[in-house]
Structure 1
Amino acid sequence: MKKKLIIIAIWIMFVLILNYFDLLSLDINTVIKFASANKDYAYLLILGLWIVRLILFIPSTPLMILGGVCFNPAEAVFLSTVGMFLSETCVYIFSKSFAGNKVKNYLVNRQPDLTSLIEAYNYKLLALGVINPIAPADVICFLSASVGIKYSTYILTVIIASSPLRILYSFIGISLSESKIALALVIVSLVLVFTISIRIWNTLRSKKKNGVSTIT
């Protein structure tokens, strides 16, 4: 009960902050105008959201899309890359902490199948978890760090695996304003990435159930 109250309190605070800056009920054009008029501040706001998103229970996908809407593609990719680096580094550090060990025990009991998959495939499953829309990416990142993966391997896997999504989402903003065809191509590309990743995810689960631990 206490945890639910804390989560509700955090979301209320977040809504109050958005309301204070007149960002609560916005259309896309208003968001773009706000980012253009307050560019340096908008950079810090986006990066700040990347850092605190874990506390606010915000997935990474909305932030990548927000970056694509507010900034040009190069800026959006850069901000998403830095944001991903910062947030998943926080996950890694927390996973290595005493509190992280308690969370790990809780997750192992709640998701034993996922834990066994990570132990079997490690960084391969980490890469898939980052790009797969049905996979709990942050949970996979946390458990991957907890099983002893090196930080350099961990962060490089996260950054490289998330590159297709970061690049595709960065073109959403310009696609919305310039071309419906471009937007359609972006959406089709995302669907293909998601479809392929889901098929691989299901294949890994099937192989693990059958006692196979290698990817062909």
Structure 2
Amino acid sequence: MKKINKVIMMSSFWGVVVYVLYRFGLITTDLNKINVIIGNDPIKMRCLFVFLSTVKVAFLIPQTIFIIGGSIIFGPYEGFLLSVLSLAISQSIMYVVGKFFQKQLLGETFLEKNKEIISILKKYGYKVLALGVVCPVTPSDLFTVSAACIKLDYKKCIATIVMADAPMIFLYGFLGIGFKESVGFKILVVILIVFISYYTFYIWNKVKKS
């Protein structure tokens, strides 16, 4: 019965994805038609970007691709705002999954499989949640789900995630326009990203060993 519930939930999710794409008129193999539909309606284009960026986790697509793509299409500042919005929505979905659909979607052994992350979250709370979002080697969605499982406050979770990831979104966004900028500018942005990634990786290792 539980497996049936999981199938129903996943089927419903994919049904929503297909319905939204159909409503946008994008269920077609005609690329010219897609370009016309999107190009003639800026609002539709932005809504579609937020939607696809939100459900990226189901397609196993890295967030970075959408951040850079959004920057190229909409510019660094508007792309940043759209990426932050999609981050807040997608992590809210992960929180709901962790709090209300844990057994149906994740299975009864979820807590056991991820007991290390859950234990660290219980000990350090929102500080580790922020670290898990920024650190490149940690699964940010898994941290959000785990935070919901141990009933950390929703508003504080989303606020922590957005504030922690916003600087990285901003930097990756400038990589998008960086293709039009000087080599020095691109190198500076890459150095900052590498430094932050290494530092968070270093802190994460220290937390795991403590």
Task: Provide the rounded CA distance (Å) in 1 between the counterparts of 2:132 and 2:50.
Answer: 22
1:93 to 92, 96, 100: 96
Task: Provide the rounded CA distance (Å) in 2 between the counterparts of 1:110 and 1:149.
Answer: 19
Conserved 8 A contact 1:104-1:146: no
Matched with 1:199 is 202
Change (3 A) 1:104 1:119: farther
Conserved 8 A contact 2:71-2:77: no
Change (3 A) 1:58 1:21: farther
Secondary structure class of the residue paired with 1:177: coil
1:155 to 146, 155, 158: 158
Q: Percent identity?
A: 26
Matched with 1:212 is none
What's the offset of the Cα at 1:52?
1.8
What's the offset of the Cα at 1:19?
8.1
Q: Which amino acid aligns with 2:78?
A: E
Matched with 1:120 is 123
Q: Does 1:62 align with 2:71?
A: no
Conserved 8 A contact 1:50-1:86: no
Q: How does 1:1-216 map to 2 (within 5 A)?
A: 20=29, 22=31, 39-97=42-100, 99-102=101-104, 103=106, 105-207=108-210
What's the offset of the Cα at 1:129?
0.8
Tell me the TM-score normalised to structure 2 length. 0.78
Conserved 8 A contact 2:99-2:145: no
Change (3 A) 1:108 1:50: same
What's the offset of the Cα at 1:47?
0.5
Deviations 1:37-76 (A, max 9, x none): 7643331221011232232233322222221222211101
Task: Provide the rounded CA distance (Å) in 2 between the counterparts of 1:150 and 1:21.
Answer: 45
Count of aligned residue pairs for this structure pair: 188
Q: Which amino acid aligns with 1:169?
A: Y
Conserved 8 A contact 1:104-1:143: no
Tell me the TM-score normalised to structure 1 length. 0.76
Tell me, which stretches of 5 or more residues in structure 1 are unaligned? 24-30, 208-216
Task: Provide the rounded CA distance (Å) in 1 between the counterparts of 2:108 and 2:188.
Answer: 43
Task: Provide the rounded CA distance (Å) in 2 between the counterparts of 1:18 and 1:110.
Answer: 38
Q: Which amino acid aligns with 1:158?
A: I
Tell me, which stretches of 5 or more residues in structure 2 are unaligned? 1-5
What's the offset of the Cα at 1:21?
5.9
Conserved 8 A contact 1:126-1:158: yes
- How large is the Cα RMSD of the aligned pairs? 2.9
